[in-house]
Amino acid sequence: MRFILSVLVVLLLAGVRPGHALAWGYDGHRIVCAIAWEQMKPEVRAKVSFILEAEGKDAFVENCLWPDEVRPWRKETGPYHYVNVPRGATAFEPARDCTPEVSCVSAQALIQAGEMRRAFSRDALRFAAHFIGDMHQPLHAGYADDLGGNLTKGKFMGRDTNMHGLWDYGLLEATGRPWREIAADLNSRITQADRWAWGSGTPTDWMKDTLALAQSTSVGYGNPYTPAVPFDLGADYLQTNLPTIYLQLQKAGVRTADILSNFLQ
């Protein structure tokens, strides 16, 4: 853990954030899993705590970060955090974009959930919860040639960043709100109608929605910025897209709770 923290400190001091490695940023994943915990029934929470060998919401939330922390020495899991589509593609097609040879996040969420149920595996539980969160970050449906927006560079609020990092952590950080406050607020707004609506569909369906969102006019990734014309975004972009971020975090939290509940009951 000390080694991981040291690497992160070096990256931060250098002005670099790990791209795909910190999907949603740590706080984004914390928010997703905090919502999921609140959405799970007590008996499911008990099973989650048993598998993790750690009790309580905070323990679950911090375990959701583990899949990013182990990527330096679990390199085979790197592609499991996202999906890449060909430049110009307007839809996610599993037969093309998520094959047994090159797996992706929507497939791995269910694979890991199945392994969690089969073997009561702590690592599989961590991966499943994390990957469901990843599926809802728009820039985790991106193009390989710019590393999911990591090479699409520009400025946000006057600071250098890239499109992937902006959605991982930049927009959430710009709110100035602690993650616990955001998680509690978002969870309190979720209705039973929301639960029913968001519980429908499959990870493939959710991935298609995420790509459509990434390519929407408001996000702007569907009309890629070129290196020759860096983007320059500010408060208007934040105001337009913050509701989208909050909605994606809510959906991810409810769906994480649903999948864990379905596989553990």
pLDDT of residue 3: 34
Among 32, 69, 70, 25, residue whose Cα is nearest residue 259 = 32
Euclidean distance between CA atoms 181 and 196, whole angstroms: 25
**Residue extents of the structural domains in the chain:** 22-264
| Number of neighbours of residue 157 by Cβ within 10 angstroms | 16
pLDDT of residue 225: 57
pLDDT of residue 5: 36
| Number of neighbours of residue 216 by Cβ within 10 angstroms | 15
In sequence order, what are the beta bridge partners of 156?
Answer: 159, 233
- The pLDDT profile of the chain, 265 residues, written as one tens digit per residue, is 433 333 333 333 333 333 344 457 899 999 999 999 999 999 999 999 999 999 999 999 999 999 999 999 999 999 999 999 998 898 999 999 999 888 999 999 999 999 999 999 999 999 999 999 999 999 999 999 899 999 999 999 999 999 999 999 999 999 999 999 999 999 999 999 999 999 999 999 999 999 999 999 999 887 665 666 789 999 999 999 999 999 999 999 999 999 999 999 8
Euclidean distance between CA atoms 50 and 44, whole angstroms: 10
In sequence order, what are the beta bridge partners of 85?
Answer: 143
Provide the token pair at 149.
Answer: 């927006």
Provide the token pair at 89.
Answer: 């593609």
Domain 22-264 has CATH 3.40.50.300: no
